[in-house]
Every structure is written in structure tokens, then in C-alpha cells.
Amino acid sequence: MSDDSLAVNRANWDERVAAHVASADYGVARFRADPGHLSGVVRFDLPRLGDVAGLRGVHLQCHIGTDTLSLHRLGARMTGLDFSAPALAEARRLAEATGAAVDFVESDVYGAPQVLGREAFDLVYTGVGALCWLPDIRRWARVVADLLRPGGRLFLREGHPMLWAIDEARGDGLLTVEYPYFEQPEPCVWDDAGTYVTTDATFTRTVTHTWNHGLGELVTALLAEGFELTMLAEHDSVPWEAIPGRMVRDADDEWRLRDRPGRLPLTYTLQARRLP
């Protein structure tokens, strides 16, 4: 990742931390009030996650740590890693307020093996909306392999590359593929004054740089790093209103297309094991 893209994206994330902490979408107050509360993203995947009790896990791109704390509450010994100092400050504040023994480390993803150690973890976890900030999926797969002990597993829930390729702002009701599905050398550059949670906050850091990664590119990158794919499930739902005005919220607190939701995969869950 170029220094320019890293700086642009970090500034955007840093500025939105306070709004995310205050938003009901992240449920920080509920985490403080209810020792059994889990994030919606982790709850959604409980049938696929399995038993994580006693595992040493790292949550890459953890933001304010709500998914990290959720995995801790399921019994994993968790470390969270993120490149945003303000986000990590809030994650540490939440962990302290809830009595959770979770470590939080500041680094970009590609530097994770240097700051966390190689073959130190049983579980690498990554949640929705993380991979699009990374320019090179092969390098990311190498990082995951470096972090995991032989036999350790990757658990990933992510926005589907077809979702990232759709023009969600069209007003004519059509779902059209407008943006790259496959990884490109240059980023897509966006200028968006909002964020994905409900907030009245205004922002000045509005530009971001993102990259898409096709599902085949992701799987091939993991296979090349010595992984065995153990699960790949595509979903017709996503944790936020990704296509505004055209989605409905379901009983799992996820969003689906109102009209013929089977037309478009919105997220996927992938698991892979690092071979001995």
C-alpha cells in the first residue's frame, strides 16, 4: 500500500471513530451493560464459528474492538490489531470498562507479523469491510499464514466482491456492475462525506482509496500460502443498508434486497486451515 493511500484512509477512519462509538449500530453501551452481549457480525456466524474457547486469536483490522470483545466473551484469548490510534483508544476503553483481558496493538495489516510474532496464533479473524482497504490480497494471505501456527485457522466474513462492484447510488432501480470485480493496481478513489452508521456528525476527511478482490483471487492466494479451504458460504444479507432505499432489515438484524434478494450475493463467510 502506498504511503499516500495509507495516510488518506487512516485520516478518514480516525475522524469517524467518535461517531461510530456514539452510534447505536455498534452498541457500545449495550456491551457495557450486558456481559453476554455479542456483536451482530459475530452472532450471525455463531453456527459456523464453532468452539473458540481457549484459542489464541488475533482480529485483524479490529476498529473499535466490538467483534474482538465478542470473541473474547466466547472464550478466545484475543488480540486486536488496527492502524487507527483513536479507534484503539476506544477499544481499550471498552475492554477496561467490561473487564476484558484483550490486547490491542497499533499497526497496518501488512506489518502484523513483525509486531505480533510469527506462528503465534490459533485463529485469525477478520470481519466485514476489511479487505477492501488492502491493495494486495496475495500479500494479505502471506500475513495470515505467517501469523498462524500449523493447523491454525482463518475465519473471514466479508462483503462480497459483487457487492463492491455494484453502483448502489443509481436511482432507476437497476443493479448494474460499474466498478472492478477483480483486483486492480490502482485504487478506486471515493469522496463521501458520510459513514455507514446513523449519525448527525459532519466530516472533513472524506476521501478513501479501496480495492476489490475477486473470490477466486482470494481463494487462490490462500491455497498458494499452504491453506486448505474448509468452508465457503455466500449470503444474501449484509450488516448495514449497503444499497440505500432498496433493502429491508430481517430478524437477524441484517439487510437484504427488498426485490428478489436471490439475485445478488452480499457477503460471504470463509474458513481455511493452515496445513502442517
List per-residue pLDDT tens for the chain, 276 residues long: 566 999 999 999 999 999 999 998 899 999 999 999 999 999 999 999 999 999 999 999 999 999 999 999 999 999 999 999 999 999 999 999 999 999 999 999 999 999 999 999 999 999 999 999 999 999 999 999 999 999 999 999 999 999 999 998 888 888 999 999 999 999 999 998 878 888 888 899 999 999 999 999 999 999 999 999 999 999 999 999 999 999 999 988 999 999 999 999 999 999 999 999
Please choose, from the candidates 101, 111, 93, 97, the residue with its C-alpha nearest in 3D space to the C-alpha of residue 75. Answer: 101
The pLDDT value recorded for residue 193 is 87
Report the C-alpha gap between 50 and 45 in whole angstroms: 9
| Nearest to 123, CA basis, from 59, 47, 63, 42 | 59
Global pTM reads: 0.96
- CB within 8 Å of 267: residues ≥ 6 apart: 128, 157, 158, 159, 160, 163, 234, 235, 237, 238, 239
Give pLDDT, residue 170.
84
Q: Dihedral (C-alpha) 153, 159, 165, 168: value to the nearest 10 degrees?
A: 180
CB atoms within 10 A of CB 148: 25
pLDDT for residue 200? 80
pLDDT (0 to 100) of residue 136:
98
pLDDT of residue 228: 98
Which pLDDT does position 1 carry in this prediction?
56
3-state SS, 154-211, equals: EEEEEECHHHHHECCCCCCCCCCECCCCCCCCCCEEEECCCCCCCCCCCCCCCEEEEC
